[in-house]
Amino acid sequence: MPEMMWFLFGFILLALVLFARSRFMGFIAQRPQDYTGMEPAMDIRHHLDGPILCEGVIYGPLGRVTSRFVAQMEGRWDGNRGVLDEHFRYSGGNEQHRQWRLTLGNDGRVRAEADDLVGRGEGRQEGAALQLKYRIRMPESAGGWALDVTDWMYVTENGTIINRSQFRKFGIKVAELVATMRRMPV
Domain range annotation of the chain: 1-30, 34-183
Specify whether domain 34-183 bears CATH 2.40.128.20. yes
**Confidence (pLDDT) at 8:** 76
Helices (H), the chain: 2-24, 44-47
**DSSP-derived 3-state class of residue 127:** coil
**Confidence (pLDDT) at 161:** 96
Contact 155, 125 (CB under 8 A): no
**Helix and strand totals (H; E) in the chain:** 2, 10
How do the pLDDT tens digits run along the chain, 186 residues long? Answer: 577 777 776 777 666 666 655 555 667 777 878 778 889 999 999 999 999 999 999 999 999 999 999 999 999 999 999 999 999 999 989 999 999 999 999 999 999 999 999 999 999 999 999 999 999 998 887 778 899 999 999 999 999 999 999 999 998 999 999 999 999 877
**Confidence (pLDDT) at 36:** 86
**Confidence (pLDDT) at 2:** 74
3-state helix, strand, coil in the chain (%, to 5): 20, 50, 30
